Structure 1
């Protein structure tokens, strides 16, 4: 299939990695459905792209099962199939000791970072199995914290470890249906969430140090490359981060 025939859904596309990835896909002539809570921000993503005519904005709560079902239904009604789901939407909570972390905050992070990708993955797999030709690709936004935590990040780290399990299960069960699943673990991309580590990040020994920050365009181009691979090629997991980020040996 050529790029002009490929259809993607990108969650959390109102800013950061989601926005830049959607724009990069549109630049490669993908048809892209972008979703997030803020419609105006999605429209900004669309207008920033080189092919806004190939972009559809659908705003809503990605943790709401009814909305997600409607999102996929609208995408399929418009384009007839789906080739890529990028489970990107994610949040974190304040870095505090566990005794100061409320159950509400913990559950909010799990709902966005894990429950929403589960719902989206389920709907994508359902579509991948019935379309002709069958198959498709899912890319999950993991984190360095899917492997090693930062201090006081119980909710975020737990959610990203769980994404690894979701990725592996999807890859295992999807292979006979020509469905592949990738986890991309990103360190310190220059977004609202990641760039703050370039100012000062708490280390396990209590120090605050300035860490390297990665241009988000490198993340977007990596995702587009994986998305453009032939269906018989799978990248199960990939790590992208600044060379000087304290990751290997963190702790």
Structure 2
């Protein structure tokens, strides 16, 4: 755990103390990939809620970067929730591979559901951000046992492109960026993603493989039965027109917060909106 926090260049003392030490476990899924997941129990001083919250992070990040360090885990455990964060394949402590055939959000959704099966819970609440939002939507379209659903950092691209909005961030350029020998030749926004991944100790060939395998096949949003919150930064180029996505999911509500695609870690209003939705 400490290594994860150091790799994110965040002082250990800045992380909420109640959330620093999860129980981390792994499961080997059907294609032989090891999937790591991290579990936090509810705070001892509050009444525990029976429905666990499962968190799925975004591209280049992991559970610690997107959910622990910004305080989302601490907020949920303080509200009596058991929290489980899944490191997607190619990210965090999960297995790595340069083979694009082993990636894609559909494959990651299967991994997530394998972890959920181990929780022995009749229902879960599920939160996903960016790439993780696609994973969460695919899982929710398949499993009615997902009670509440939060999808962040995505917008009309889910409806119009079938996944993360590759019109704003072309997947071929992204894959090239993670394999380029000379990152100085990259455009500033693409170079920034690579720098972020390197800062976090990401496995660049695995990230390139995921970029090549990004989900484009669409999602059966009509099959999503969970009570849903769509949340996005109001200047996020990867989550433009999020009302289009909210309108495609029965009963979904929309929340906009100030900021771009970094709101998962930079804006406390993003964290508060998620916690309020899941614990009200």
TM-score of the superposed pair, with normalisation by structure 2? 0.38
| Structure with the higher helix share, 1 or 2 | 1
